[in-house]
Amino acid sequence: MSSPADAGPPPRAGGGRLEFAIGVLNGVVGDYLHRRDNGLATPMELFLDGRPLRLDRESLKRAYPHSRGRLALWVHGLAVTEAVWSFPGEPTVTYGSLLERDHGFTPLYLRYNTGLHISGNGESLARLLEELVAAFPVPVEELVLVGYSMGGLVVRSACHVAAEAGHAWLSRVRRAVYIGVPHMGSPLERMGRAVSRVLRGIPNAYTQLIADVADLRSSGVKDLGVPLQSRGHPIPLRPGISHHLLVGTLAAEERHLLSVLFGDGVVPMASAAGRAGGAGHGLLVPPGNVQVVTGTHHVALAHDAQVYARLRAWFEEASP
């Protein structure tokens, strides 16, 4: 694979300390900020060059004058912004820019409040994509959905909402990619809930205060503790879409104890691979649609040359 530095000039993902701080703040207490309506909550929008993009035909035409209607939506994870896709030291280089260079998919970068319920963000994304497809200046031939960490769950939720609502954009989706996504939930969040419950059971004002602090987790964070659901029922991977799952491991070997126990450091291997209880249970995709990238921790999965090599290989296999 050619170096990321060889990529042409793509839409630049927004970065900077302020954006980083806003991403963290929304991830931790984004639901509270949303209720207070104090201007600190991040609205769901597409971003281009660090600025929000209006979804009207003229604005989209100016933003993407050379698009041929093959789009790739990049959905970030918890407590970050679209800047997480940028390669270290090369802020203009992302998987989106590389995929545009190699396969002609126009990159669309989403920014949203990761502290809100995943289901709520799924509904908002479904509406946004319906508006985008209707306003895009050329017919949308294909829409690829790529979700990192929590972003993958938001993508799945949006597809579920679109199917129930009969949205037109869903018919353009033939491929979806999930990078380090906790399909079966995150044990770190479940541990946080358990600690909070134990502390609340101790009749002491000090421990009660600690419990309040321990429980200061947004709705989005709490949603990560269980598999994706709608009205109390599991949401399966959407049929008719080719789903691809990328799994990271801390160790350089997949079978290393560190990898088996901790996965990428945040998401266990079984959860990222969509497996629960062994073969025959949980989410099933063809074996070739699950790839393990060893020696890559959770954050690095969003901007790693090995990961992009797997992405590019999948797209090359699907090319006519």
For 34-70, write each residue's pLDDT tens digit.
988 878 889 999 999 989 999 999 999 999 999 999 9
Say if residues 74 and 109 touch (Cβ distance below 8 Å): yes
Q: In Å, how far from its chain's centre is CA 28?
A: 16
State how far the Cα of 8 lies from the Cα of 92, in Å rounded to an integer.
9
- Rounded average pLDDT over 270-293: 76
Q: Given this model, what pLDDT does residue 1 score?
A: 35
CA angle 72, 78, 84 (to 5 degrees): 55
State how far the Cα of 312 lies from the Cα of 292, in Å rounded to an integer.
15
Residue type, 109: Y
**The pLDDT of residue 8 is above 60:** no
For residue 75, the surrounding DSSP H or E stretch is strand 70-75
Q: Which of 25-34, 77-86, 128-137, 189-198 has the lowest mean pLDDT?
A: 189-198
**The pLDDT of residue 2 is above 50:** no
Local confidence band at 233 (pLDDT 50, 70, 90 cut-offs)? confident
Please identify which residue in the block is written with the tokens 């954006």: 19
Q: Given this model, what pLDDT does residue 207 score?
A: 45
Dihedral pair phi/psi, residue 152, rounded to 5°: -65, -35
pTM score: 0.87
What tokens does 300 get? Answer: 């690095």
**The pLDDT of residue 205 is above 70:** no
Local confidence band at 195 (pLDDT 50, 70, 90 cut-offs)? very low
Q: Given this model, what pLDDT does residue 27 score?
A: 79
Local confidence band at 108 (pLDDT 50, 70, 90 cut-offs)? very high
- Rounded average pLDDT over 18-24: 81
> Among the residues of 136-204, which ranges form H helices?
150-165, 187-200
Q: Given this model, what pLDDT does residue 286 score?
A: 86
β-pair partners for 242: 175
Give the Å distances, CA to CA, from 53 to 45, 48, 77, 123.
Answer: 7, 6, 20, 19
Q: Given this model, what pLDDT does residue 185 score?
A: 87
Dihedral pair phi/psi, residue 46, rounded to 5°: -80, 140
Identify which has the larger pLDDT, 295 or 234: 295
Q: Summarize pLDDT for 158-173 with one digit per residue, the tens.
A: 999 999 999 999 999 9
Residue type, 274: G
Local confidence band at 75 (pLDDT 50, 70, 90 cut-offs)? very high
Of residues 184, 179, 180, the one with CA closest to residue 314: 179
Which residues are CB-contacts of 248 (< 8 A; sequence separation ≥ 6)?
180, 263, 264, 265, 267, 272, 292, 293, 294, 296, 297, 298, 300, 301
Average pLDDT, the chain: 85
Of residues 102, 217, 116, 211, the one with CA closest to residue 157: 116
**The pLDDT of residue 235 is above 60:** yes
Q: Given this model, what pLDDT does residue 210 score?
A: 42
Q: In Å, how far from its chain's centre is CA 192?
A: 22
Residue type, 223: D
Residue type, 293: V
The residue length of the chain stands at 320
State how far the Cα of 204 lies from the Cα of 225, in Å rounded to an integer.
27
Q: Given this model, what pLDDT does residue 98 score?
A: 98
β-pair partners for 230: 233
Identify which has the larger pLDDT, 204 or 16: 16
